[in-house]
Structures are given as C-alpha cells and as structure tokens.
Structure 1
Amino acid sequence: MLSRQRRALLRALGVAAAGALAGCPGDESGDTDTPDADPTPTDTPAPTPTARPTESPTATATDTETATETETDAPDDETPETDGAEPARPDTGWPLPRGGERNHGHNPEGVTFGAAPTEAWRAEPPAADTDYHDPEYVHPVVADGRVYATGRLVYGPHVAPPERQFLHALDPVTGERVWEYELTDESDGSVAEVSACAARGDRVYVGADDRLHAVDAAEGTAHWTRQLPERVDVVHPTAEGVVLATGWSVRVLESDGERRWDHEFGEHVGARPALGDQYLYVGASGKQLMAFDPATGDRAWMADAMPPEGTDEGGWAVYTVVTVGERVVVRRASGVVYAFDRTGEPVWHDRARGRGLTADGERLYTGRVGGKVVATDPATGERVWEQTVGDRTDDARRGVGPMVAGDDALYGAVADGTLFALRPDDGSVVWTAETDAERLALGSEALYGVGDRDGELRRWTAGGDG
C-alpha cells in the first residue's frame, strides 16, 4: 500500500480524482483532506438570518437525449463459496453512502458503543496489476445483512487507467468476500472512474465511467447496464427513482433503467442530491440550489447559496445537500453553510467553515478544523453545543470529516487518526480511540469505515464480537 501522502497526491492529480477537481465530491470521501476550510481556526460567529437571493441566470433546465441502453449478460463466475462461515447477522440501515435518501448520515437503529469498540476485521481492496495503481475501497454501504463497497484503483497523471475495477459484497460477520462484480468497458478497454455504490431493494447500483450498472444484491450478477452521455459521478437510488449526477446533468431513471427525466445545466452537478418530503434538491458548482418535482422533473425553484450582502467568500461549488425537518441545508466548498425553507427562502447561514453535514432530526452537526464539532438547531441555526476532541485545537490538519449518528451516539473521525463518540444531546465525549478511519457507515450491529492510509475496509464492534 502507498503512503497517505502519495495517496493524497494521486487523488489531487490523477484522473480518478476528476470529480473532486470539479468541486463536487458526491460521496464526501475526501472531505477531511480537501482545503475547504479556513486553515486558521476561528471563533464561530452567530448564524445570520438571510434574505432571499437573486436567482442565478447561469443555470438552465432543458431536456436531453435519452440515455443509450446497453443490456449485459450476467458474469460467468459462480458465486464464491463461503467455506461454511456462519450466516451474516441482519446488519441493516445504511444503504446509501450518507445513510439514506436525505443524506442526513443518521440511522435511528444504529449501534451504540458505551466504550471504545474493537476492530473485528479489515478487508483489503482488490489488488492492482501495477505499482502505479493504488487500490482502496470507496464508501461502504450496509443493507440486508451484507456490506457492499466499490474497489477503486487510484492513479496519477501520465498513467494509463486500469482495465477493470470492482464492486464487492462482503459478509459483515467475517469480512469474507461473498461475490465480486467486474466493472469493465469493452469499447476502450479501461475504466477510469467509479462511483460509490448504493443499494435499494434487490439491487446494488454503481457507476463506472459513463455506464450505470444494476447488480443483483444476492448473486452479484448483472440485471442491466445503461450507457449515459456523461460520466456517472453519483448514484442515489430513492423511492422516486434512481437519481444520477452525471457531469453537467441530473437524471432520474426507473428501476429498470428506463429514462424518467433529465435536466442539463450550465454548471457541474456532482454533489449527492437529497430527497425531501416534496422535492428532490440538487446543488451545482455555481452555488445554486434547485428543487425539482421528482416525478416529473419540473423545477419548482432555484436559489443561490450566498450571503445577502458583503463580499462572497469564494468556493462556490455546493459540496453537500441535506434535508432535515422543514429545512434543506447546503455546504459550499468554502465550508459556509446555508439553510433554506421548502419554498427556497433563505433562513440562516453560518460562516464558520464546516466539513460535512449530519442531522438526526433534532440537531445539525458539522465538523471543523482543530478537532471541533458543533451542533446547531437546523430550524434557526442557533448553536446547541460545541465540543473539541483532543487538545491540539490550533492544528488545522486535525479536521473532522462527515460524521454518522444514531439516536444515542454521534461518531466521527479526526484526520490525525482519532475515532470518537459524542453524546448527541450535550456533546460530551463518550470515548476516543486511535485508529485510521474515514468514510464511516453505521449499521445496526457495527460501525464501518475505510482506512485513509491503506484504503482497507474495517468493521468495529463491541468487544470485537462479530
């Protein structure tokens, strides 16, 4: 495995980091390393009520051509034997990289650890065929008693992309691989970029370059593959269809891969969309937030995530979109957070430069530099509590990335290798542990994550129980 420094360099310079370079990391996997926060920790100003901004004239919505359809046969490989391993526990509740359709990072049935958990197993990502490709797992998801994760090969400039990449299903108890699905492209013989996977029903969806694959969750065989006009950056299956962010477009497909609707914009769309009670919310790289009818694709409104007066802080791209209660909350590349009501009216904004957004219905949580975590009231933006993990508050490298929440615990990781749990009601520290972790997923039986340094998938349980 490569060092963290080289891995970060490959992410920054390589073709496989194209989505991040565009300013919209849909799975937020690089949030703890991206320079989206002020390197100098500062006191957080009070959230500011905002007036409605002027609609941006740059984003337009037009129908595009229907995606080219490519049916595929199931792979020839048989489902691997599990050598008599005990059946997987029904670990459920995290089918999308940020938990659910709302991107809230919350599992009400998530496991609660009263003390620091023990690493039960770790799984190595698929091996690379060359030293110039660095393997890592993308964001894991948990559904129906299995763990699914895309195995990605990261590479730098002037290096040929890999011939294939992989989607894996793992036994949550043992960490053993249940099946492997190869992501290939016979047209040019390489697969440059893959998305984080997402599960819904009996299928697991994953993007590979400009193709969307629907894979049988039980067997690892292909249901269908669709070719799109643009690269698939984000896959977000919902009750209202399979939502895709593809370059400069947002698309919604039926469960069989047929087109429902699509809109093309004048800005890059790479942030993971969020489904609310009424609308599908989409963020774009030009600071726009848009609300669509998920059934028809009609746009209800568009607003700019920007302060009503004064100088804009830069970092326009919308990185995160979350729906919580009566609010839709977005975080821009600058780290500034903006909250809107369901009609698109701005309610408050916070210039404190957060990293990631997590919501449990009562509170909105953001990570900051210096190991700081802040909880706010999503309705008003008023601060509920603030906590600092560790004592090196002046170290900007100690950023806290996207956290995950159960009803009784908030889990997160500091970039210096500290995993922690806080009480959601008052922010008090329950425990900390030294471990390398990011891209967390919270199941009902265990906590999962990916090592930042080695790209390996990990499972933590109470006392190391499987």
Structure 2
Amino acid sequence: MPPSRRRILELTALSMTTLGGCSALGDPPPEGTPTETPDGTEPPDPTATPTDAPASELLCGTGPLPDSGWPLSERSVGRTNYAPDGDGPAEKPSAEWSVTATAPERGEVRFTRPIVADDRIYVARNVVVGTSVPKPDKQYLQAYDAATGDRLWEYAIAGTPQAVATTDEAVLVADRSTLHAVEYGGESARWTHEPDGGVDDVLPIPDGVLVASTRADSDDTVVALLSDGEVEWDVTVDAWLDSSLGWTDGRAYLATNGAELVAIDTDEGEQLWTRNLHDREDRNPATLLVTPCAVFVAVDEALYAADRDGEVAWSVNKSFRDLATDGEYIYGVDGDGYARSLSIEDGDEDWEEFRGAVNERYTDGFFDGLAIDDETLYAGTLEDGLLAISTNSGDVRWVLERDLDGVSVSVVDDTLYAAWGNRLLAFR
C-alpha cells in the first residue's frame, strides 16, 4: 500500500495533540542517551500475541470524565475522546448553524477543535500562510454561543494559537512561546507562563496545569503550574516529547521521540520510570491514551498496551493516528484510511473499516480529531468528508461531503460541533 499522507492538518491535533508532535522542531537527542526500564528487560517487538501480563488487569474503565461539555481537546485528562452521555446524530444531519471565517489578506483560516463548556464554544482562529509569507501580527482565541453560533468575544495573541482548553477559572490558549490563562469574558489574561523551551503541550489537571516544553539542549521539561500560574515543580525528561500528555490518578504519562513511555508522579513531582517500547529507527509522532490501569501508545505502525508499572501486556502491528476508548474497546483511525476497534483486554480486533482513497503517490486517510459517544464514532477523511461509524459493528451510518480540507469534531448531548477548514458548524 502507498505510504500514508501524515499530519494533513496540524491544527486539528489540539489543538493539544498538535503540540505534542514537537519532534520536527530540531534534531533528536544524541545517540547513547541512557534509558531506564522498570525491569531491565529488552524492549519488546510488536506482536499480536499478548505477553504473560494478565490482560484482564487492563479493564478498569475510562477514568475521570467531565460532567458535561467537551472542555479539553480530547475531552478528558486521559485523552479518551469519549462522551458517554452524548447522543449525536445517528442519521445524516443538517447544520443548525454555520460560521465562515473572514478571509485574511494572505493565507487561509483554520479553526482548532471546538472546546465546549457552559454553553460556549472556544476555538483558536489560526491563519495558515506559506513559508515565504509573513505571519499576521495577531491571532485570536474566540468565543461563540453554542446555540446560535454568534461570536461573543475574542482575545488577541501574538503567536500562532495551538492549544485551547478550559479550567474552572479561565480559558487556556497557547502559542509556541506562551501559555495564556484568559478571563472568561476575554478582557485580559489572569496570568501567562513562558517556559524557556516554548510550549509543546498543555493539560489541565485537578488543582493545576501541566505544561511540556523542549529546551535547546534537547531535553523536555514537564512543569506543574498551580491555579494561579505559579510553578509548583518541574521534571526533566532526557528526550523530546513526541505525544500529548495524559493523566490519571496522580500520574502523568508521555511518549518520547525515542519510542519511550515515561511516567511522572504529579503529587511528588518526580519521574517514576521509563519504558523503551522498541528500537526501530523510523519515528512518527506518537498518540497516547490513558486509563486508570493502562497506557495505550500508538507509535511507528504499532499499538502498545502497558500497565501502570510500564509492563507491556500486548501489542499489535496496526497504525493509529488518533485514539478513543469507552473503557472496553480502543477505537482508532489512521492515515491509511482505516477505522478500527480493538479489545482492551487482549488487543484482538473487533472490526475494521477502510474509508481511504489510494492514488499513485499516497493514501488519503483520516484526520486527527475523532470523537465517540455511546454508539457512534465520528471522524473525517479527505475523500469522504465527515463520517459516522457504528462503534458496535463498524458499519458506516452516514457520510457528509463538503469541499473543505480537514475536520475535527466534539460531541455534546445531541449536537456534533465541527471545525471544518475555515468553517465552524453545529450538526443535529
């Protein structure tokens, strides 16, 4: 099969997922960097056969989920992309409202994934320009009424906005250099944080915010900020961040550009362990999903399931560019055009659906930014547009074609919110 067309739309990856893929910012760490494994064993090869670790220990639910809305890019601190109370459109929907961004003088507008909280939608309005065109002086965090699509306010930042999330006190938006905690009216920032290495990922957790940044010496630093923006602790990881941060039950997890899985105790502010997943030379940005008793990492055409101690329970040779879980199954899509469902217990495939488009140069597959509710997986491809797929059978329920590139979605109650190119839409 032709190679995947990877990372087609960087802005839909969070928002925060986009921030995680920072390995393209410079050279990787020097060879010979020491790697600690929990038991000193050799890294496992991907295999469809589970190891001796009891697979049933991986079945423990999704972990903490928001009470309502879609307040983070992947909805929860575990990056689960799951809204169990959602009842999105089961049949081909129509748009309740649609907002089209005003075209800039140069470049094109792209909205980040819709963040939905307290009947408000928060997105970054990002102007994408070519390498020879200067970027605009200002970019914007914008707030919209979720029921009508009316714009309520906007907050200007100097850099390209890459992350949006909400906390009890503020809306978080990050560009490459600065994290802004913006008042809910948009008038000003409560505080800002400027790490030495720039902002690579942002994850609000209970009682604070985790920020990952890569320094010039090729180390990655994870910083814990208190609710007022003050630094509580920082941990240095001897590699670059290559995934989003995930968190549950007092532990943060990340994947590095050396295919390592790292666990950090967020109560004490210390690194617990590092697990080398494999020694392949090829490197693609990793995708990470966390539950209370397991960490799932998709990296370099393989998916690994590890327990809280970093022991790999099973792995399969399947590629994934985005993941979701309902606590029983792992759902995912890839750049080769496949949507899949796997058992959390042992990695066995439940179903697989191909929706890609193959040509002489590459395969057009799925975009980042999928969402699942109780019965349906929603995701977008360049070929089909926006799809709804049954999580039970893998059958396609409907396809919504539009002549726009890139779509990321959030599902809240009976409404599917979509950032689709230069448009923001609500479907029912």
Instruction: Tell me the TM-score normalised to structure 2 length.
Output: 0.79
CA distance in 1, matches of 2:9, 2:349: 36
Alignment match, 2:231? 259
CA distance in 2, matches of 1:120, 1:388: 29
Alignment match, 1:167? 141
Answering whether residue 75 of structure 2 is matched by residue 99 of structure 1, we say: yes
Alignment match, 1:342? 308
Contact kept, 8 Å, 2:89 with 2:414, in 1: the verdict is no
Matched residue SS, 1:49: coil
Alignment match, 1:314? 282
Deviation, structure 1 residue 430:
2.1
In the alignment, which of 290, 314, 334 is matched to residue 262 of structure 2? Answer: 290
Deviation, structure 1 residue 176:
1.4
Deviation, structure 1 residue 9:
10
Q: Which 4+ residue blocks in structure 1 deviate beyond 4 angstroms?
A: 7-11, 17-21, 392-396
CA distance in 2, matches of 1:367, 1:337: 12
Answering whether residue 123 of structure 2 is matched by residue 156 of structure 1, we say: no
Alignment match, 1:117? 93
Answering whether residue 174 of structure 2 is matched by residue 207 of structure 1, we say: yes
CA distance in 2, matches of 1:383, 1:394: 27
CA distance in 1, matches of 2:247, 2:8: 31
Answering whether residue 377 of structure 2 is matched by residue 410 of structure 1, we say: yes
**Range 381-390 or range 207-216, more displaced:** 381-390
Deviation, structure 1 residue 227:
2.3
1:58-207 equivalent positions in 2, closer than 5 A: 92-125=68-101, 127-128=103-104, 130-131=105-106, 133-184=107-158, 191=159, 193-207=160-174
1:395-439 CA distance string (max 9 Å, x none)? 953312342111122111222133222222222222222134522
Alignment match, 1:59? none
Alignment match, 1:399? 365
Which structure has the highest strand share of the two? 2
Contact kept, 8 Å, 1:287 with 1:316, in 2: the verdict is no
Matched residue SS, 1:106: coil
Decide whether aligned partners of structure 1 residues 440 and 303 sit closer, same or farther in structure 2, where only a CA change above 3 A counts.
Answer: same
Q: Which runs of 5+ in 1 are unaligned?
A: 12-16, 25-44, 53-90, 185-190, 462-466
Contact kept, 8 Å, 1:409 with 1:424, in 2: the verdict is yes
Decide whether aligned partners of structure 1 residues 218 and 370 sit closer, same or farther in structure 2, where only a CA change above 3 A counts.
Answer: same
CA distance in 1, matches of 2:163, 2:128: 14
Contact kept, 8 Å, 1:148 with 1:170, in 2: the verdict is yes
Contact kept, 8 Å, 1:22 with 1:268, in 2: the verdict is yes
Contact kept, 8 Å, 1:212 with 1:232, in 2: the verdict is yes
Decide whether aligned partners of structure 1 residues 165 and 219 sit closer, same or farther in structure 2, where only a CA change above 3 A counts.
Answer: closer
Alignment match, 1:65? none
Matched residue SS, 1:229: coil
Aligned length: 375
Alignment match, 2:32? none
CA distance in 1, matches of 2:213, 2:253: 15
Alignment match, 1:356? 322
Matched residue SS, 1:357: strand
Matched residue SS, 1:267: coil
For residue 117 of structure 1, what is the amino acid of its counterpart?
Answer: P
Instruction: Tell me the TM-score normalised to structure 1 length.
Output: 0.73
Contact kept, 8 Å, 2:379 with 2:408, in 1: the verdict is no
CA distance in 2, matches of 1:239, 1:46: 36
Deviation, structure 1 residue 21:
6.3
Contact kept, 8 Å, 2:355 with 2:365, in 1: the verdict is no
Alignment match, 1:22? 23
Contact kept, 8 Å, 2:172 with 2:181, in 1: the verdict is yes
Alignment match, 1:447? 416
Deviation, structure 1 residue 275:
0.7
CA distance in 2, matches of 1:388, 1:119: 26
Alignment match, 2:56? none
Deviation, structure 1 residue 393:
7.2
Alignment match, 1:187? none
CA distance in 2, matches of 1:141, 1:246: 23
Deviation, structure 1 residue 251:
1.4
Answering whether residue 379 of structure 2 is matched by residue 378 of structure 1, we say: no
Decide whether aligned partners of structure 1 residues 246 and 123 sit closer, same or farther in structure 2, where only a CA change above 3 A counts.
Answer: farther
CA distance in 1, matches of 2:10, 2:129: 6
CA distance in 2, matches of 1:214, 1:261: 19
1:114-150 CA distance string (max 9 Å, x none)? 211112222234653x42x332112221111100011
Decide whether aligned partners of structure 1 residues 418 and 46 sit closer, same or farther in structure 2, where only a CA change above 3 A counts.
Answer: farther
Decide whether aligned partners of structure 1 residues 251 and 401 sit closer, same or farther in structure 2, where only a CA change above 3 A counts.
Answer: same
Deviation, structure 1 residue 233:
2.2
CA distance in 2, matches of 1:292, 1:123: 41
CA distance in 1, matches of 2:203, 2:187: 19
Deviation, structure 1 residue 111:
2.5
Decide whether aligned partners of structure 1 residues 446 and 234 sit closer, same or farther in structure 2, where only a CA change above 3 A counts.
Answer: same
Q: For the aligned residues, what is the CA RMSD? A: 2.9
Deviation, structure 1 residue 389:
4.0
CA distance in 1, matches of 2:52, 2:358: 34
For residue 203 of structure 2, what is the amino acid of its counterpart?
Answer: H
Deviation, structure 1 residue 180:
0.5
Contact kept, 8 Å, 1:135 with 1:455, in 2: the verdict is yes
Alignment match, 2:387? 420
CA distance in 1, matches of 2:401, 2:294: 35
CA distance in 2, matches of 1:95, 1:279: 20
1:452-463 equivalent positions in 2, closer than 5 A: 454-461=421-428
1:8-35 CA distance string (max 9 Å, x none)? 6999xxxxx99756259xxxxxxxxxxx
CA distance in 2, matches of 1:181, 1:394: 42
Decide whether aligned partners of structure 1 residues 208 and 433 sit closer, same or farther in structure 2, where only a CA change above 3 A counts.
Answer: closer
CA distance in 1, matches of 2:303, 2:186: 42
